[in-house]
Amino acid sequence: MTTIIIAALALSLFQLWLLPASLNIKNMTYLIGSRDTPLELSTLQGRLSRSGINLQESLPAFLVLSVLAIIHETDLTQIATIWLGLRLLYIPCYMLNIIYLRTIVWLGSLGCLISMALELI
């Protein structure tokens, strides 16, 4: 379970920092500066930003449930792995505007969180 937690944190690093930075490489002075004035985002950058916000809403619940699983010695490895895979799939679905699949993927990841919580009860 610890490996999945670390992988989820790596996903957040990738989705919230590395991927946005790579899409903004032409704005290097903005990236290394104080960012006083917000950049105008392209459609793709905006989608990536919104998908990152969605991860930030989901990740705390995942981390709490994962740590509780370790404390209570409940094996949630399979559900947690599915959650992680769905969150990885969510990024291209959002960026490429695949709306119906994105919704199904999001519902699946939410279902994983609910399943994890129910297993801990």
Cα angle for residues 21, 38, 51 (degrees, 5° grid): 50
CATH number of 2-120: 1.20.120.550
pLDDT of residue 38: 77
Quote the mean pLDDT of the chain. Answer: 93
Query: Is 34 buried (19+), middle (13-18) or exposed (0-12) by CB count in 10 A?
Result: exposed
> Which of 60, 36, 57, 113 lies closest to 82, judged by CA?
113
| Integer Cα distance of 95 and 45 in angstroms | 8
Indicate whether 59 pLDDT > 70.
Answer: yes
- Predicted confidence (pLDDT) per residue in 96-111, tens digit: 999 999 999 999 999 9
At 31 the pLDDT is 63
pTM above threshold 0.75: yes
Domain assignments of the chain as residue spans, ordered by start: 2-120
Q: Using the predicted structure, report yes or no on whether residue 37 has a pLDDT greater than 80.
A: no
